[in-house]
Amino acid sequence: TEDAIEKALKKPGDININLVNAQQARRVLDRLVGYKLSPLLWKKIQFGLSAGRVQSVALRLIVEREIERDNFKPQDYFLIEGAFDYNKSLFNASLHSVSGEKLVKKVKNKEGKPEFKFLLTNEKQAKDILEEIKKQEYYIKSVTKKEKNRSPFPPFTTSLLQQAASNMFGFSAKRTMQAAQKLYEKGLITYHRTDSFNLSAKFLKESQTFINKQFGKEYYKKTFFKKKAKGAQEAHEAIRPTSLKKLPSSLGAVTKDEQLIYELVFVRSIATQMAPIKLLSTSVDISSKDNKFLFRANGQQVLFEGWAKAYTLLKTVKYNPLSQDTLLPDLKENTNIDLKDAEMTKKTTQPPARYSEASLIKTLEKYGIGRPSTYAPTISTLISRKYVLKESKYLVPTDLGRVVTQLLLDNFADIIDYDFTAKIEKDLDEIALGKKEWPKVVDTFYKPFEKRIKSSEETLSRRDYKVLGEAPKDIKCPDCGGPMLLKLGRNGKFYTCAKFPECKGMRGLDGKTEK
């Protein structure tokens, strides 16, 4: 911003050689990984492939999520909902527990990961319980009312802006950064490659004046945010408008993408300095007279809009962070209530969702992998190399992406290990702080890495990673009549004779003979 430039000119500082060294180390490490691993992929899989310190870890995340989905076994379960009448006011409540045992319980599996355990997984059992429920009499066991505050979201960092634009507009990280770059060049927003939540004192003062005038003093609340992501460097401010005088409704000559991104940045920045949303939450437990069946209903009412009011400034897109009120009748504890009807619904567990660009960026940041400037180009590279396809908003690994990941996992598991990659980022941060010497960090990484590269060049066979499996038994070699293998080629999958190179018979996936 103009203010920051004037300040820097008045108090020029010395070049921080530690930061220079950290950048030098990052550049050398990235090139060592890319320049050494990429040619190995050319020799062992196909020409034109690439690997990278951050790129290959991101690909691993996508591939491993797909494997989780492949191995997922769906399970049917049943939920029961009751329609209750209280003094002629109707509302629904869900069956919460039977004889004290919850219908849906969160547990940890063998790997220590959270998963859900369901009580009703048998249709006959669920129907029997439904019939028993309908015969019972009910009373209101408890009514709990609680006021809650919802604090505003922090200001935008690069990753948060990319996630928000992806979720709201379906923008790719690259598209978001292109629009942000133009806004930055036009002097409308601050620097857009940042991992900081910091806002300048000048902006904080300007936002106070703006909020008090636009919404009223009760909507203002000064707030400071602290970065929680691993390895945050916080060299710049958060992304914000350079001036609150430039309202979203009066930007002038900008593209639609630029308008949308500016609106997001403007509203989010204002909202950070506004009062929390105040909510009244109501939870009602309804029990059968014998206390065997417990139903639960939840209601919510907005008492004060708080920072949600900032979103009324959006011009191009409509978004309300507040969900609609769900009001319950004025219920009294220990009074009777009528069950009018109950219904059973069959559900099926779903596999873990594929990564979208937004969720991938969020995960990379959580692990401390990469920097604000690397997220968009990393995803673009995965797509351009055909390691990943974009289906709707989701990232789906190709066979090529799976094969590349498998080769790297088999031979360079530590290089694409999540914790190792985060540790490298930590080492780079310590170089920037003067706590470590950059040649030693590079040397510690490079010596064992170089040995493995040489070993892999000698021992790895193209066949190990080109062969995807055996062909169906009815697919026979057109030349010798023998069994065939499914292989990955430059243009996709095809069948080749299991006796290759002695026999060179081939078929396409459609079963036709290849020439």
Active site residues: 191
Answer for the pair 398, 40: CB distance below 8 angstroms, yes or no.
no
Answer for the pair 156, 363: CB distance below 8 angstroms, yes or no.
no
Using DSSP's 3-state secondary structure scheme, residue 162 falls into helix
Answer for the pair 422, 369: CB distance below 8 angstroms, yes or no.
yes
CA nearest neighbour of 342 among 50, 165, 492, 128: 128
Answer for the pair 492, 499: CB distance below 8 angstroms, yes or no.
no
User: How far is Cα 424 from Cα 328, in angstroms, rounded to an integer?
Assistant: 53
Q: Give the amino acid at 297.
A: A
Q: Tell me the sheet residues that pair with 89.
A: 86
Cα angle: 355, vertex 356, 360; to 5 degrees: 65
User: How far is Cα 223 from Cα 244, in angstroms, rounded to an integer?
Assistant: 18
Q: Exposed e or buried b for every residue in 344-381, given b needs 16+ CB within 10 A?
A: beeeeeeeeebbbbbbbbbbbbebbbbbbebbbbbbeb
Q: Where on the phi/psi map is residue 87: left (φ > 0), alpha (ψ -120 to 50), or beta?
A: left
